[in-house]
Chain A
Amino acid sequence: MSGSNGFEPKIVAFVCNWCTYLGADLAGTSRLEYPPNVRILRLPCTGRIDTNLVVKAVEGGADAVLVSGCHPGDCHYNAGNYHARRRWMLFRELLDVLGFDMRRIHFTWISAAEGRKFQHVISEITEQTRALGPWRAYEAKAEIDHRGGLVGQAVSPATGRAGPAPALQAPAPLAEQELRDLARRLLGAGDVKVVIGYGAAGPVFVTKAADVERLVWNEGCQANLTTYLKRKEVRALGKPAVVVKGCDERSLVVLEKESQIRREDVRVIGMACDGMGQEKCAACDTHEPRFADERVGKAGGQGGKPAARYAAVEAILAKTPEERLAFWSAEFDRCLKCYACRQVCPMCYCERCIADKNRPQAIDTSPHRKGNFAWHIARAMHLAGRCVGCDECTRACPAGIDLRLLNLTLARAAETQFGYRAGMDPAAEPPIGAYSLQDKEEFIR
């Protein structure tokens, strides 16, 4: 039975080798009829099904996607499906904010004995998708609210760049002097070989005590300098001291947890901060550094409004999925694939990024809409439960794409679902790489 317009949905099913694939096989050998609209792709385990594959299927013209594996407790590899479940929980929230049609993305547990369930699921999805019609996720009209954008950003007069005007809490000359004195002491004593700090026109790398006057501390110190700890040219300078704000410091916690730095190899200079006038500052609850070896200054005690942390996510979720997709289409249409977002990110340290790999080509390198959606989804997912919200990607983007909203979406998901905030508590277990038997799965059939 086909739709009135002759539309036959294409459904791509990513299934695990041990349960659902055998379930599908059983449906076949039991002569249980199910619609031929499904293309089954067999993978070793749901834990091994990269979310990029789901995106790839949509790019390739799938009208619905199904991901299916073993029931909880039945995984051939013990816990692959538990790990997958966590990723799906985060992935779904991301797709939802992007405005993808969530009625077309399905997750099920189907065992090797459930040929009948496989038959039902496929029949149901096929009928439902047929009623929905073709999925034209990438054909949305790119629409942006010219009256200030969905999530407005003001330009900083200091830098001419996106980000609201600095709050201009009087630059702290005392703190600046204290910082220079400290740097002079550290370099003079040979405790560190380089101080990575803020200069008048951008980051500076001070290697001589005589040069500490190049260090500044003012309302323009927006960058998260911990990103330099990963760069080999900077590493070659020797043991660093790095100037951080309370927010930047969170990335050190993650980097250490991920074995990218050894805490004892880095001297951390923590600056008390009343905000740099960026959007994130409004909800800041890390005005004072918490783990730094050296502390400079004292924050004015004006707390941000942490409760409003995810207000931007909630604002976009108040829109319809169609509006959200139109918004993101306009945002991503501006993407140049300059990778400033990746390069500036302290958490992006892979020796070779998945975007630079071509065997297989998981993400089209072209800056067209599909390639841009794929890239930003992959980037957000790779930062899920890791992003500390420094917003450097947003600050760096020459196209003004609201990347912070993607990261915030996943941060919100990690906090609401798993009570986790990246970089806040060194003892907390990161959500990705762990799982709980109690993880919510109401979205899995």
Chain B
Amino acid sequence: MDNIYQPDLMEIAGVRQHTPDVKSVKLRFQDPNRAGSFDFRVGQFGIFSAFGAGEATFNICSSSNWKGSIEFCFRKVGRVTEALWDAEEGDTVGFRGPYGNGYPMEAWRGKDLIFLGGGIAMPPIRCAIWYALENRADYGDITIVYGARTVGDLVFVDELDEWARHPRVRVIRCVDPGGQTPDWTGEIGFVPTVFERADVPAKNAIALVIGPPIMIKNTIPVLERMGGAMSNVYTSLENRMKCGVGKCGRCNAGPVYVCKEGPVFTFEELRAIPMDY
């Protein structure tokens, strides 16, 4: 029987700890055939499981150009993530996916890209950044504004440095006021404010905004003031999911199943339909 709920078994190939409660994990398919045939689009997500604890939904935060493995990133907040936290290299976890629509990277070609992220929302942006850098000629200027509550809450910090070394890439780091350390060289302030100060041409750019609801809420007006079109401003919704395949009803928001029609939406779409997210 074809079982759409049955996961692939994955071996943990590497673990990186980013903050006291955030880790990213690299997985390899245990079945070599599956490893060879697996493909996904950046922006898609997976359902990851620790056997005995359950499943949880995370973006696949690696680039789709990286063959042979996938990565995901999580904060330790519940039963499943605690079990994943305790898993070590060589252990087995489950993966179902890829699910969802992903970013329309082809449609973004030729445009400037603006990535605005807050806190743990870096991973779903990271996959798009790497993809764009690996296809550098396809995209215009890239601006990354990434903020967190404190310096210690920033994730993938080493990669921020790496991205900044690429041509036509501007990386702006910021922390909330009071979240800085004495040696902090980045900006101090919230993402929307810092972004507005940075004065990035937004008129014809694609913007990807992911973060806590309050950050998104305050960033959208800034983008509008800067001339960004809502049809060019994207986000990735994080509705709670169980099945990932449009059955269980949990991610249902207004007229859509976020797991199938999302998780990536433009703000033009989000404004047109009544939704709870």
- Chain A: residues with CB nearer than 8 A to chain B? 358-359, 361
Could you tell me the distance between the alpha carbons of A359 and B82 in the complex, rounded to whole angstroms? 10
Which residues of A are found within 8 Å of B78, using beta-carbon distances?
A: 358-359
Q: Which residue of A lies closest to B53 (CB)?
A: A358
Within 8 Å of chain A (Cβ to Cβ): is B79? yes
Could you tell me the distance between the alpha carbons of A361 and B78 in the complex, rounded to whole angstroms? 12
Which residues of A are found within 8 Å of B82, using beta-carbon distances?
A: 359
Binary A-proximity of B73-93 (CB < 8 A = 1, otherwise 0): 000001100100000000000
6 A-B contacts (beta carbon < 8 Å): A358-B78, A358-B79, A359-B78, A359-B79, A359-B82, A361-B79
Could you tell me the distance between the alpha carbons of A361 and B79 in the complex, rounded to whole angstroms? 9
Q: From DSSP, what is the main secondary structure of chain B's interface residues?
A: helix
A355 CB, nearest partner CB in chain B, Å: 14
Q: Which residue of B lies closest to A358 (CB)?
A: B79
Could you tell me the distance between the alpha carbons of A359 and B53 in the complex, rounded to whole angstroms? 10
Q: Which of B81-107 contact A (CB under 8 A)?
A: 82
B240 CB, nearest partner CB in chain A, Å: 14
A126 CB, nearest partner CB in chain B, Å: 31
Which residues of B are found within 8 Å of A361, using beta-carbon distances?
A: 79
Q: Which residue of B lies closest to A357 (CB)?
A: B79
Which residues of B are found within 8 Å of A358, using beta-carbon distances?
A: 78-79
Could you tell me the distance between the alpha carbons of A361 and B53 in the complex, rounded to whole angstroms? 10
Per CB-CB distance, the 6 closest pairs between chain A and chain B, nearest first, are A358-B79, A359-B79, A359-B82, A359-B78, A358-B78, A361-B79
B234 CB, nearest partner CB in chain A, Å: 33
Could you tell me the distance between the alpha carbons of A191 and B13 in the complex, rounded to whole angstroms? 67
B242 CB, nearest partner CB in chain A, Å: 12
Could you tell me the distance between the alpha carbons of A361 and B82 in the complex, rounded to whole angstroms? 14
Could you tell me the distance between the alpha carbons of A287 and B264 in the complex, rounded to whole angstroms? 60
Q: Which of B139-177 contact A (CB under 8 A)?
A: none
Could you tell me the distance between the alpha carbons of A48 and B258 in the complex, rounded to whole angstroms? 44
Could you tell me the distance between the alpha carbons of A334 and B79 in the complex, rounded to whole angstroms? 29
Which residues of B are found within 8 Å of A359, using beta-carbon distances?
A: 78-79, 82
B85 CB, nearest partner CB in chain A, Å: 13
Could you tell me the distance between the alpha carbons of A130 and B277 in the complex, rounded to whole angstroms? 57
A282 CB, nearest partner CB in chain B, Å: 43
Binary A-proximity of B123-143 (CB < 8 A = 1, otherwise 0): 000000000000000000000
Which residues of A are found within 8 Å of B79, using beta-carbon distances?
A: 358-359, 361
B162 CB, nearest partner CB in chain A, Å: 37
